[in-house]
Amino acid sequence: MQKDTHQQRCPLCTNPAEYRLVHHKKAKHFYCTNCGQFQISPAAEKLLEKGPSHWKMNLPKLARDHPYGHTLVIALAEENDPVPLLHKYVKNSELSE
């Protein structure tokens, strides 16, 4: 298990942030002073970067306003889904390391 933190701009708000690789290096768990903490898959991060700015508008607030004991997880939708990005709250006890 890799616990090393890395520096990167937050993919939601572009402020300086830290992340660590989780879920067998298939996702990043971000710690941002503006957005709080959330997880995002690299594919979702790339799509968000190239997508329209309105995709990012609500995500920082959703990350900050998570229910107690939960973290916002952002990932790509299934291929046939009309919405390309999915986000949901996941119990912290169910997050992969």
Instruction: Note the pLDDT of residue 2.
Output: 46
The span from the CA of 55 to the CA of 40, in Å, is 14
Per domain, the residue ranges of the chain are: 5-94
- Rounded Cα distance between 36 and 60, Å, is 8
Count Cβ atoms within 10 A of the Cβ of residue 28 and give its class: 0-12 exposed, 13-18 middle, 19 or more buried.
Answer: buried
Cα gap 26→17, rounded to integer Å: 18
**pLDDT value at position 91?**
94
- Averaged in consecutive runs of 10 residues, what is the pLDDT profile of the chain (97 residues)? 80 95 90 95 92 85 94 87 84 85
